[in-house]
Amino acid sequence: MDARRAEGEVRFEKVRKVFGTNLVVRELDLLIRGGEFLSLLGPSGCGKTTSLRMLAGLEFPTSGTISIGGRVVNEVAPGARDVAMVFQSYALYPHMTVAENIAYPLKKRGVPRAEREERVKRAAESLHLTELLPRKPRQLSGGQQQRVALGRALVRDPRVFLLDEPLSNLDAKLRAHMRAELIELHQRVGRTFVYVTHDQLEAMTMSDRIAVMHEGVLQQVGTPSEVYNRPANLFVAGFIGAPTMNLLRGRAENGAFAHPAVRVGLSGHVTPDLVLGLRPEDIVVGEGPFESRIRLVEPHGHEQIAQLDIAGGDVLTIRADAALPLAAGETLRWGVRAARLHLFDAASGLRLDATCTAPQALAA
């Protein structure tokens, strides 16, 4: 098993990619451990798909090296890299049956017919495709086509699976189902999965680690809990989490974070200009030292999301139990769970190591 893991290790070293005058990926340094499920997460145009395509060999890095299993693959043809890719559009060969589609990579590698049929059969069984083997792709639903695309990757037992937004074309219910199937598949095959998505929910639920990218720069790599609970900078803080984290700009004054609407004690070294990050669920509703007017309330069934107009012209999003009687226009008391708040340097956007101690009453 260890050898299997080692051959699936992927390393990006100082990888740059320039399209014309457009810098798409700048200095990407990333180690993907063998056998791990790593998501490349970011908004569109952040360079995540380009990075994946460079790993597949469909794009060439402008500079830097990419290695798989310790071997530099910059000069290796896509078909010889021992990677398989699942595309957003599935890219099934329309004139071939499901069985022929799945068998295609084996055929191109000269696997004898008997072995080919055996392996196609096994892959089809594990993805519940056996009945669909004689059909053509156009006779399948989106979810079934997706599974065939996975089967075409799975049948080769490649070192690395590359998945480029494979669930985006599915409806919400099927997507949740396929997430579970993918997690299971990853555990079963024990291979490296590199998964590109702009959907943080997919990244959070499936990944061992998440690499957040923005404008061609890697922002943070960490487990879903690290990325969520200790965002490395303002971009990650604002990108991960729904509803998004509230970010309030304020100043360090007398050992406290000061904002016209919020005051929180600080311990540790801070810079003079600060941004305080408060996740909606870390705001205590109904009690606390602060008071604001409710702007609007969105009922979500099991909970409600409300926006407060707070002093200083900011808007604060909170989450409250569905049973609480909230109504727009009313005044609400609120507080914060100080230990769960995040502090960033306003100038650099980087996370500060300081912690918040306790909310303080505002000077009148």
Partner 1 sequence: MAQRGASAAREAMAVPGLTAADRAAVNPLDRGYALLGMVLIAPTVLIFCAVIVYPLVSAIYLSLFSIFTPTLSGSFVGFRNYAELANSPEFWRSLLNNLIWTVLTLTLQVVLGIAAALMLNQAMVFRSLARSLILFPYFVSTVVAVLVWRWLFNDLYGVLNHLMMWAGILDMPLDWLGAMPNAMVSVVLVGAWKYFPFVVIAVLARLQTIPETLYEAATIDGAGAWGRFTDVTLPQLRDVLVVVVLLRAIWDFKEFDLIYLLTGGGPIIGTQTLPLMVYKEAFGLNEMGRASAVAVAMMLVMLVFMLVYFRVLRARGEEPR
Positions that interact with partner 1 (CB under 8 A):
56-58, 77-80, 83-85, 87, 89, 91, 93-96, 104-105, 108-109, 152
Q: Of 63, 40, 64, 37, nearest to 51 (Cα)?
A: 40
Nearer to partner 1, 27 or 117 (CB): 117
* Most distant CA atoms of the chain, gap in Å: 83
Nearer to partner 1, 109 or 188 (CB): 109
Please identify which residue in the block is written with the tokens 């084996």. Answer: 106
Nearer to partner 1, 83 or 266 (CB): 83
Minimum CB distance to partner 1, residue 12 (Å): 18
Minimum CB distance to partner 1, residue 88 (Å): 8
Q: How big is the chain, counted in residues?
A: 364
Minimum CB distance to partner 1, residue 118 (Å): 19
Nearer to partner 1, 108 or 230 (CB): 108
Q: What is the rounded CA–CA span in Å between residue 32 and residue 99?
A: 32
Crossing angle (nearest 10°) for helices 142-154 and 98-108 = 20
Minimum CB distance to partner 1, residue 124 (Å): 17
Crossing angle (nearest 10°) for helices 142-154 and 172-189 = 10
Nearer to partner 1, 17 or 342 (CB): 17
The count of C-alpha atoms lying within 13 angstroms of the C-alpha of 149, restricted to the half-sphere facing its C-beta, is 25
Minimum CB distance to partner 1, residue 91 (Å): 4
Minimum CB distance to partner 1, residue 77 (Å): 8
The order of strands in the sheet holding 246-253 is 342-345, 273-278, 246-253, 256-258, 263-267, 355-359
Nearer to partner 1, 167 or 343 (CB): 167
Residue 90 Cα to chain centre, angstroms: 20
